[in-house]
A and B are shown apart, each in its own frame.
Chain A
C-alpha cells in the first residue's frame, strides 16, 4: 500500500569537522525563522482567537477584558438556533458528501481499472474539477440548479416532464436551492431548537461538492489499485471467483487504508467548507445551507460580534482536530516503528 508520509530518513553520523557554528546547530538555526513564523501564525493566533472568544469584544471597538462568566459566549453560541442549524448542516453535508465522493470515486476507479480505451483521457475528465476554484464551481452549479433553467429545463428537454404529464403528474420543477424545507424531523431534547433532518437546499451543494472532489477519491483509489499485484487477481480468477466477488471480498478490503485516508482528508475539507457554499447559495432560505464557516465570517466581519465569531471558529477547529490529530499521531507512530 502507499507509503506513509512521514518516512523515517536514515540516521545521521556525527560531524567530523569544526565550523564557525557547529553543524549540529546549523539545521535548527536555519529552520527557526520559518518554523517560528508558522507557530506564531498557527498556535499563537489560535491562542489569541481563543482569548477573543472569552472576551467582551462584541462591537467594532476592541475590548479584550474577559467576559463574566467565562463560558457566556459559548453558552450563547450553542443556544443560538442559527448555530444549531449550522452544526446540523455541517454534519448532514459531511455524511452525504463523504458517502457520495467515496462511492463515486471507488466506482470510477474500478471502472478505470478495467481494460478500456482512452483510459488516461477519461481519468483526466473525472479529475479536472479538482483543479477549479470552489467559487467557479459554486457559480456554475448555482445556475444549473436555478429553478427556472438548468436541471428543470433539462427535464423538459429530455422529455421527462412530458412523460410525467402523460401519467397525470405535474412536471418536475427542481427548486431545491431556494427551498426552505427540511426532510424529516428527528425528535430532540428541548434545548435543540433546530429541526433535525435533511435540508433540501443542501442537496445541490452536496452534488456540486461531490462533482468537484470525487476525482480526488478516484485518484487515490487508482494509486491503491496500482499497488495490488496481478497475482492476487489471477489467483482469485483461478479459484473461480467472479469479478464482482474479487472486488467485494479481496480488492476493496485491501483498499481500506486508502478509504481511511480519503475519509479523513475529505472529512476535514467538508467540516471547514466555506467558499463553495458562499458562492453557490450563501446562508440559504431559513439558513438551510448555512455552515459554521459562513457563520464565523458574518459574525466577525459583518456584525462585528468578534467574541461570538471567535467562539464559533474555535468550535470548528475542535471538530477538525478530533479528526486530524489521531491521524497525524498515527502517521507519526508509523514512523517511529
Chain B
C-alpha cells in the first residue's frame, strides 16, 4: 500500500538524453490534459456576466470578479447544507458498522461466515437501478421517502459491503495472538473490540471515513430518485439541475461545479495518502 509512496529508485545519472526529453514531454502533455478542465472551471467562475462570451473560454478574466461564484453560491448553498446533513451522519454510522462487522468477520469467524461475507461483498457491485423500484416503495412505506434521513438509511445499508471489507482486511493484519492473550485474561468479544481493536483502528477509520465521505458526497442516482424537493436535493443533483437550466449562464454553472467539488477536493489535498489507500482497498486488492 505504502508502495505507492516509495522513494525514487536511486539512479545517479541525470543526463539530458533523448529518453528524458520524451519522458518530460509525455508528462507535460498529461499534466496539461488533467488540469485543463479545472482551469476552465475556475477561470470561467471568476468572470463576470459581461465577460463570459463563449469565445473567450480559454482566456483569463479581464477583471477578477466573484460574479459566477457569488451567484452559484446563492443557488447551491441550501443543497450544500443538505449534502453535509446527509454525508456526515451516513459516514459516521457506516464506518462504525463496518468496524464491528469487519472485526467479527476477521476475528470471530463461524461456520459459513466466509460465504456470507462473499454474499455481502456482491452488494457493492450491483447497479442500483436494479433495486430502485422496491427501494422507493419501501421508503414510502416506512415514511422516509423524500427525506434526508431516508437517504442516510440507504447509504448506510449499501455502504456495509465496502466498509466491512476495508475493516476486515485491516483487522486481519492484527495478529490473532493478541486476541488469544486477551481471552486468557478473561476479556470477552466486546471488551476485546473496545479496548484492543478500536484503539488500534484509527488509520482504518480515516481511510473508511474519507472513502465513504467522497462516495456519498459524489453520489447522484439515489439523490435524484429519493429526494424530490429541489431545495432538499444533494448538491450533485442541484448542480445537474443548474446545468440544465436555460436561465443560468455557463460561468455560474462552472463556478457551481467547483463549489460542488470543493469539499472532496480539500479532503484529497489534505489527506491524499489515506485517500489512495481507500481507493486501492475499495478495489478489493491491496
Q: Which residues of A contact B (CB under 8 A)?
A: 2-13, 15-17, 19, 23-24, 26-28, 30-31, 34-35, 37-39, 41-46, 48-49, 52, 104, 107-108, 111, 113-116, 119-120, 122-144, 146, 148-150, 153-154, 157, 211, 215-216, 219-220, 222-223, 225-227, 230, 233, 243, 258, 261-262, 265, 268, 271-272, 274-275, 278-279, 292-293, 296-297, 300-301, 306, 309-310, 312-314, 316-317, 320, 324-325, 328-329, 331-332, 335-336
Residues of A within 8 A of B10 (CB): 115
- On chain B, the number of residues with a Cβ less than 8 Å from chain A's Cβ atoms is 111
Cβ proximity bits B249-265 to A, threshold 8 Å, 1 near / 0 not: 01001101100110011
Do B114 and A317 touch (CB < 8 A)? no
A281 CB to closest chain B CB (Å) equals: 12
Do B104 and A31 touch (CB < 8 A)? yes
Whole-angstrom CA separation of A16 from B185 in the bound complex: 11
Which of A2, A132, A324 is within 8 Å of B125, CB to CB? A324
The reply on B145 being an interface residue by CB < 8 A is: no
The reply on B183 being an interface residue by CB < 8 A is: yes
Which of B58, B118, B133, B160 is within 8 Å of A306, CB to CB? B133
Whole-angstrom CA separation of A42 from B35 in the bound complex: 38
Do B9 and A115 touch (CB < 8 A)? yes
B164 nearest CB neighbor, chain A only: A34
Residues of B within 8 A of A135 (CB): 218, 220, 236-237, 239-240, 260
A114 and B54 in contact, given A5-B284, A28-B110, A211-B33 (Cβ under 8 angstroms): no
Residues of A within 8 A of B114 (CB): 6, 332, 335-336
Do A116 and B23 touch (CB < 8 A)? yes
B171 CB to closest chain A CB (Å) equals: 8
A227 and B108 in contact, given A44-B134, A132-B261, A317-B126 (Cβ under 8 angstroms): no
A243 and B19 in contact, given A41-B157, A226-B6 (Cβ under 8 angstroms): yes
Do A133 and B261 touch (CB < 8 A)? yes
Do B100 and A30 touch (CB < 8 A)? yes
A3 CB to closest chain B CB (Å) equals: 7
Whole-angstrom CA separation of A122 from B33 in the bound complex: 12
Do B280 and A140 touch (CB < 8 A)? no
Residues of B within 8 A of A226 (CB): 3-4, 6
Whole-angstrom CA separation of A148 from B189 in the bound complex: 65
A128 and B58 in contact, given A38-B161, A219-B279 (Cβ under 8 angstroms): no
A65 CB to closest chain B CB (Å) equals: 16
The reply on B11 being an interface residue by CB < 8 A is: yes
Residues of B within 8 A of A157 (CB): 58
Label chain B's interface by main secondary structure.
helix
A320 and B37 in contact, given A261-B283, A301-B225, A309-B133 (Cβ under 8 angstroms): no
Residues of A within 8 A of B121 (CB): 328
Residues of B within 8 A of A128 (CB): 34, 38, 265, 268
Residue with the highest number of chain B CB atoms closer than 10 Å, among A46, A136, A148, A230: A136
Residues of B within 8 A of A124 (CB): 268, 272
A275 and B286 in contact, given A133-B261, A316-B127 (Cβ under 8 angstroms): no
A313 and B286 in contact, given A128-B268, A220-B280 (Cβ under 8 angstroms): no
A91 CB to closest chain B CB (Å) equals: 16
Residues of A within 8 A of B237 (CB): 135
Do B8 and A5 touch (CB < 8 A)? no
A9 and B37 in contact, given A31-B101, A279-B240, A316-B130 (Cβ under 8 angstroms): no
Which of A30, A45, A149, A211 is within 8 Å of B37, CB to CB? A211
Do B265 and A132 touch (CB < 8 A)? yes
Do A150 and B254 touch (CB < 8 A)? no
Label chain A's interface by main secondary structure.
helix
Do A131 and B275 touch (CB < 8 A)? yes
Do A27 and B189 touch (CB < 8 A)? yes
Extra pairs beyond A132-B265, A148-B54, A324-B122 (14, CB < 8 Å): A5-B169, A6-B114, A13-B183, A38-B160, A44-B134, A111-B23, A133-B261, A146-B54, A219-B276, A226-B6, A261-B285, A278-B240, A300-B133, A314-B130
Whole-angstrom CA separation of A150 from B183 in the bound complex: 65
A107 CB to closest chain B CB (Å) equals: 7
Do B220 and A274 touch (CB < 8 A)? yes
Whole-angstrom CA separation of A251 from B68 in the bound complex: 48
A100 CB to closest chain B CB (Å) equals: 12
Residues of B within 8 A of A336 (CB): 114
Do A133 and B220 touch (CB < 8 A)? yes
Do B129 and A316 touch (CB < 8 A)? yes
Do B3 and A133 touch (CB < 8 A)? no
B37 CB to closest chain A CB (Å) equals: 4
The reply on B199 being an interface residue by CB < 8 A is: no
B48 CB to closest chain A CB (Å) equals: 17
Do B160 and A34 touch (CB < 8 A)? yes
B129 CB to closest chain A CB (Å) equals: 4
